[in-house]
Structure 1
Amino acid sequence: MELLEICKRAKSVKFDIQKLSSDDKNKALLCVADKLETEAERIIAANDLDYKNGQQNGMHQGMLDRLRLDDKRIKAMADGIREVVGLEDPIGTEIEHFERPNGLKIKKVRVPLGVIGIIYESRPNVTADAFALTFKSGNAVILKGGSDAINSNVAISEIIREGLSESGVNPDAVLLITDTDRSVVTQFMKMNEYVDVLIPRGSAGLIRSVVENATIPVIETGTGNCHIYVDKDADIDKAINIIINAKTQRIGVCNAAESLVVHKDISKEFLPKFSKAMNEHGVEVRADEASRSYIEDSKEVTEEDFGKEFLDYIISVKTVSSVSEAIDHINRYNTGHSEAIITEDKESAALFLNLVDAACVYVNASTRFTDGFEFGFGAEIGISTQKLHARGPMGLKELTSYKYQIIGDGQIRS
């Protein structure tokens, strides 16, 4: 299907979706969730093709991990959709109401955005997550996945469309752009006559390209140079466990820790244990001069390292003399995604929570929790690192706008 035809069909179907009741949408979502599980072999067969192509093309291990689907991940996709079913439908909910002195009654209510375009890379589970959230929030969605996951995305989108058709819903609620020519992405960014909002998910290069070139309003999802700051009053065992989880559980995700900041008063006791843990998990440590004397086999950190999202078994280390210096370092190099402090001191924790400029700020917890599913959103459309409209994991409410409904009784303006 040509891009223009896809966009026209999405614009046409958005009004059909807005007429659906919450029950209609939930029944369709449950049907799709069940169908994804029953058709798991079909999805895995398609994913195997993408995975083998990725290996042959020298795809990095972190990206291969993002690409891979198995029974467990497909079940997680289906369960995410079921969790979305259990969430309150935001459409039509009242945000506020008030009455003017002239008797006009004004109500502010949530409405769909309309047609949402999503450009994403590598992670085929995004196809299901994006559908569930956009559909439940009353929107049509046009998906443009990366060429490296094309077979997986086609299989998943076909199954979703089949589930919608079986539920009596127009399957054009989800449309996939299958043309892998890069020029199509550029054309898609200019379809502001048909697409209301564009959301990029993927590499820094992809996001920057969309932000700089799109004529459609963009919700920017950012890369994740996430820091963990180990304060002088940290519980060392707690800190080590959190860092291992945040750095090594999955290296190829945006909420993985990429940078460690440590207070000088605890570095002598903490850093050798940190070094041992990183060595056991195969993580390369790149540290500043103050840290390297306590870390075996560390490399000298560069300015570029401090600001880099490695998506690899690499972590940068910086020693500081205060929580304020830690905050300044993090605010200089972070990407506005997720930052954490490990401390037993309430004042340091409060200072960190209030002054670190990021969408999600943690005390004594792993940055890996920055995720729509973990936040109870069922799934997520992405992690917004901007400050207008949406910030952090984007769930149903973040995929709505609002309108004012005004009720009068013959009032005219003088």
Structure 2
Amino acid sequence: MNTLLTIETRNAVLLKMGVLLEKERETIININKEDLEAYKGDDISMYDRLKVDDSKVDEMIKSVTHLASQDDPVGVERFAFKHDNGMQVYNKTASFGTVLIIYESRPDVTVEAAGIAFKSGNKILLKGGKESLRSNLKIVELWHEALKANGASTHWVEYLQFNREETQAFLENPTQKVDLMVPRGGERLIAFVKKHANCPVIISGRGNNFVYVHPKADLDIAMDVIINGKTAKISACNAVDKVLIDENLPEKEAFMKRLISKLKAFDVEILGDEKTAKYDEISQFESDDIWYEEFLDYKIVIGEIAGVEDTIAMINKYSGGHSASIITTDEAVAKTFMENVDTAAVYHNVSTRFTDGSQLGLGGELAISTDKLHQRGPIGLQHLVTNKWYVHGNGQIR
């Protein structure tokens, strides 16, 4: 049982972590270079997520200092009721207990996700990928230093240095109580955790996000949203993979040629259906199964669609349930799209790249959930809690 640390102690640990990250900035970056040099894979998005530079360290520091400034998410009253018999009933938020985060490649998760879990009163078990082991161990060392500096046990942040077989054994039969598991990574990792876990799992699912260009679209906005969504950060789960162009779009050919030219300037491979493959530089895809794929690469599919109803059906069938955007000046059409598209975040004339805890006002996220229980989309500090009933009386019996 983890005795809840006071909010003052939790905040002090987070602020100390910010100081230590600044102090050890060069050491972290140099250790990360060893991880980068040892990485022999050819996955460019994995390499991108693995890299720690000055701006990444800045983000880590900003994350923990911002967390320290936020209200305590534990013990917040959600409901109160005075029973006829005089009992006073309250429902309040409570920490989960122990949260296991399994992730690939991203040393910043060792700071941000651990910080969110810790601030919300949870013990954190971290299981990072072997490709980022050196970076992760250094960051955990700083967590332990921050905890000890504030008289708190280092058991609050623990790193599990397991291989795949040891991880599977731990998931199936944990050597300590685990209350919640959060896998962050590719579909294989998520499927592996879901298959073997023996406690609730928050699925931080795939992206495969869509943009729909409606006939009443502002074409400059459409261009900016598509290019930003596809090229700003290909390793992000909020990147764009699919574009649906309404067949009744005015100036469709001119827009398509301009879009193709801009995408090609970023070396994006463009695939299309029968109608869009007539354009130079677009290759027709072989199977409709490609609509299900998340690329995490400089690759995009552009297709034509008959209207908003067909678009909604298409997105609901193929997307990862993450993010979708409509580009239109028609408010009523936007409302229909946003109410009926079944994704965690829906956008009107905005890039899908904003599906991110810090961008949506949460100050960071543990993960971005594509499940519907218990929280959808970015899981922030205030979502990493469960709840508990507090009932006060003076001898009432039923």
TM-score bin (small chain): over 0.9
Q: Deviations over 1:338-395 (max 9, x none)?
A: 1111111101110111001011111111111111111222221110110111211011
Q: Return the alpha-carbon distance in structure 2 between the equivalents of residues 44 and 58 of structure 1.
A: 20
1:71 aligns with: 54
Q: CA deviation at 1:325?
A: 0.6
Matched with 2:82 is 99
Which of 7, 10, 18 matches 1:25?
10
- 1:60 is aligned to 2:43: yes
> 1:168, 1:261 → 2: CA distance?
56
2:147 corresponds to 1:183? no
The aligned runs of 1:143-292 (5 Å cut-off) are 143-179=126-162, 181-191=163-173, 194-266=177-249, 267-292=252-277
Bigger shift: residues 85-94 or 370-379: 370-379
Runs ≥4 residues deviating over 6 A? none
- One-letter code of the match for 1:184? E
| 3-state SS of paired residue (1:229) | strand
Cα-Cα RMSD: 1.2
- Secondary structure, in 3 states, of the residue corresponding to 1:241? helix
Q: Sequence identity of aligned pairs in percent? A: 37
Report the counterpart of residue 382 of structure 1 in structure 2. 367
SS at match of 1:289: coil
Q: Deviations over 1:298-346 (max 9, x none)?
A: 1112312211110000001121111111111111101111111111110
CA contact (8 A) 1:230 1:261 kept: yes
Aligned length: 394
Q: Corresponding residue for 1:354?
A: 339
- The residue type equivalent to 1:211 in the other structure is K
Say whether the 8 Å CA contact 2:236–2:296 is kept in structure 1: yes
Give the alignment's TM-score, normalised by structure 2: 0.96
Write the letter of the residue equivalent to 2:178: V
Distance 1:395 1:387 in 2: 15
Take 2:291 and 2:217, find their aligned partners in 1: how far apart are those partners?
22
Give, in angstroms, the shift of residue 123 of structure 1: 0.9
Alignment deviations for residues 267-315 of structure 1 (CA, whole Å, 9 cap, x no partner): 334211211111111111111111223x321111231221111000000
Report how far residue 212 of structure 1 moved. 1.6
Partner of 2:103: 120
| Cα displacement string for residues 166-192 of structure 1 (whole angstroms, at most 9, x for unaligned residues) | 12221221100123x211110221245
Q: Which residue of 1 aligns with 2:305?
A: 320
Specify which of 28, 33, 55 is matched with residue 48 of structure 1: 33
Indicate if the aligned counterparts of 1:191 and 1:216 stay in contact, CA closer than 8 A. Answer: no
Q: Hey, what's the Cα distance between the residues in 2 that align with 1:368 and 1:188?
A: 35
Pairing of 1:294-333 with structure 2 (within 5 A): 295-301=279-285, 302-333=287-318
Query: Structure 2 regions of 5+ residues with no counterpart?
Result: none
Distance, in Å, in 2 between the alignment partners of 1:235 and 1:315 is 21
2:19 is equivalent to residue 34 of structure 1: yes
Distance 1:269-1:324 versus aligned 2 partners, 3 A rule: farther
Distance 1:360 1:221 in 2: 14
